[in-house]
Amino acid sequence: MQFATKVLHAGVHPDPETGAIMTPIYQTSTYVQRSPGDHDGYEYSRTHNPTRTQLQDNLAALENGNWGLCFSSGMGAIDTIAKLLKPGDEVISTNDLYGGSYRIFTKVFENYGIKFHFTDLGNAENFAKLINPNTKMVWMETPTNPMLTIIDIEAITKVAKANNILSVVDNTFASPYLQNPLDLGADLVMHSVTKYINGHSDVVMGAVVVRDELLYEKLAFLQNSCGAVPGPQDCFLVLRGIKTLHLRMERHCENGRKIAEFLRSHPKVDKVYWPGFTDHANHDIAKKQMKDFGGMMSFTLKSDSIADAHKFLSNTHLFSLAESLGGVESLCGHPASMTHASIPREERLKSGLVDSLIRLSVGIEDVNDLIEDINNAL
Ligand SMILES: *Cc1c(COP(=O)(O)O)cnc(C)c1O
């Protein structure tokens, strides 16, 4: 089944009782059993819920995996994955990681005796240098947030496999439409469903997809034991949003390309970070592992002043100043004072996250209106 068919049909089926084509919202905490233990697989909604099951099955299909698990947020998914680790284990990750991931790793899991190393995984050779017998996981994010660095998933997972290291890809920025990490050798792919997958800025949710049954069972055990599960209403909203994922992504990519090119030609703009440019450091890898280049980009101002960046952000009308990304509406943000405020300045400067860096999540509006909005604000 092709992607555009899967978003509509994979894992979902009409309601057996009524024929309702949309998955019903099973707003229930518990399920009546015929006699103790005699039931149809549903006992309690933290463990299983039919609306969630259909969403999980759909997401598993979109990522070419066998098992999907949904969580109450992207962070809930990350938290659960990290709980596969034990004290003494080490994780290798990339420099310009999503701020929340950096925070949970360094401020929460380091307290439980897990060690994290951050390096530029955009250069795959850096990975092997940090491996030691305690290395149990490699955590990738590609394209990265907000520098749009591209990591060669296949190159990293190959080395990981040879060293018995679990490889995880946070695929939020690409969405399953642009990139399928499991096909490139990753063991786990996770999403902040909040972003492109739901796409309508009205749900917070996370997901993990795997191929390996044992890994699935460990994660399902953790999901049920720790309890960061989404409610059925949110699962319904995501099932609705997913039906247009391919159409939305096509427009995000098309608009993204035009805006990246416009920004690059503007005299006040210094650098534009977007993997679709042929001179982007890892453009060839992006071309190999992604279907297109997406609607996420960052740019810096020639003045590199925080004040000028803030001025731009308060002068746009169509680009709303907000955290988050991947929704149908265009958003802009200032990573240094918003999403990445928890990362020390020296740390962020190392990866090029300078004071004037502005991140855009290009929506699906008319691209000429968006360009006019940016032009006026600049
Ligand atoms: C938003 C985001 C997360 C966290 O997801 P939430 O749904 O906000 O908890 C993780 N990784 C990336 C890349 C994100 O953009």
User: How confident is the model over 134-191, as pLDDT tens digits?
Assistant: 999 999 999 998 999 999 999 999 999 999 999 999 999 999 999 999 999 999 999 9
Return the amino acid letter for 63.
E
User: Is 238's pLDDT higher than 90?
Assistant: yes
If asked whether residues 176 and 74 sit together in one domain, one would say yes
Buried b (16+ CB within 10 A) or exposed e, 15-46: eeeeeeeebebbeeeebeeeeeeeeeebeebe
First-last CA distance in the chain = 45
For 157, the token pair is 């997972």
If asked whether residues 224 and 255 sit together in one domain, one would say no
Q: How far is the CA of 205 from the centre of ligand 1 (A)?
A: 9
What's the rounded mean pLDDT across residues 254-262? 98
pLDDT value at position 349?
Answer: 87
User: Is 346's pLDDT higher than 90?
Assistant: no
Give the mutation target among 195, 198, 203 for probing the ligand 1 site: most ligand atoms within 8 A of CB. 195
If asked whether residues 311 and 166 sit together in one domain, one would say no
Asked whether 335 lines ligand 1 (CB < 6 A), one says no
Maximum C-alpha span of the chain: 73
pLDDT value at position 308?
Answer: 95
By the 8 A CB rule, do 259 and 362 touch? yes
If asked whether residues 253 and 209 sit together in one domain, one would say no
Asked whether 326 lines ligand 1 (CB < 6 A), one says no
If asked whether residues 100 and 17 sit together in one domain, one would say yes
If asked whether residues 126 and 146 sit together in one domain, one would say yes
Boundary of a domain, candidates 187, 215, 242: 242
Give the mutation target among 94, 171, 172, 191 for probing the ligand 1 site: most ligand atoms within 8 A of CB. 172
If asked whether residues 194 and 251 sit together in one domain, one would say no
Asked whether 269 lines ligand 1 (CB < 6 A), one says no
For 24, the token pair is 């019903």
Total domain count, the chain: 2
By the 8 A CB rule, do 377 and 320 touch? no
User: How confident is the model over 209-228, as pLDDT tens digits?
Assistant: 999 999 999 999 999 999 99
Closest residue CA from atom 6 of ligand 1: 74
Boundary of a domain, candidates 242, 268, 297: 242
Q: Give the domain extent around 17.
A: 3-242
If asked whether residues 236 and 256 sit together in one domain, one would say no
Confidence grade of residue 341 (pLDDT, cut at 50, 70, 90): confident
367-377 helix and 245-265 helix, angle to the nearest 10 degrees:
40
Provide the CA 81 distance to its chain's centre, in angstroms. Answer: 14
Q: State the closest ligand 1 atom to the C-alpha of 204, by its place in the atom list counted from 1.
A: 7
If asked whether residues 95 and 45 sit together in one domain, one would say yes
What's the rounded mean pLDDT across residues 354-376? 97
pLDDT value at position 95?
Answer: 85
pLDDT value at position 359?
Answer: 97
Confidence grade of residue 91 (pLDDT, cut at 50, 70, 90): very high
Confidence grade of residue 255 (pLDDT, cut at 50, 70, 90): very high
Q: How far is the CA of 22 from the centre of ligand 1 (A)?
A: 27
Going from the C-alpha of 189 to that of each of 158, 181, 183, 206, the distances in angstroms are: 16, 6, 10, 11
Q: How far is the CA of 228 from the centre of ligand 1 (A)?
A: 15
If asked whether residues 66 and 178 sit together in one domain, one would say yes
pLDDT value at position 53?
Answer: 98
Boundary of a domain, candidates 189, 212, 242: 242
pLDDT value at position 97?
Answer: 87
Q: State the closest ligand 1 atom to the C-alpha of 75, by its place in the atom list counted from 1.
A: 9
CATH of the domain at 69: 3.40.640.10
What's the rounded mean pLDDT across residues 99-122? 95
> Which residue would you say has higher pLDDT here, 339 or 171?
171
- DSSP string covering 316-370: -SSSEE-S---SSS-EEE-TTTTTTTTS-HHHHHHTT--TT-EEEE--SS-HHHH
**Which pTM was predicted?**
0.96
If asked whether residues 120 and 183 sit together in one domain, one would say yes
Q: Measured between alpha carbons, how far is 283 from 149 in angstroms, rounded to an integer?
A: 9
CATH of the domain at 364: 3.90.1150.10
What are the residue numbers of the active site? 46, 98, 170, 195
DSSP character at residue 230:
P
Asked whether 143 lines ligand 1 (CB < 6 A), one says no
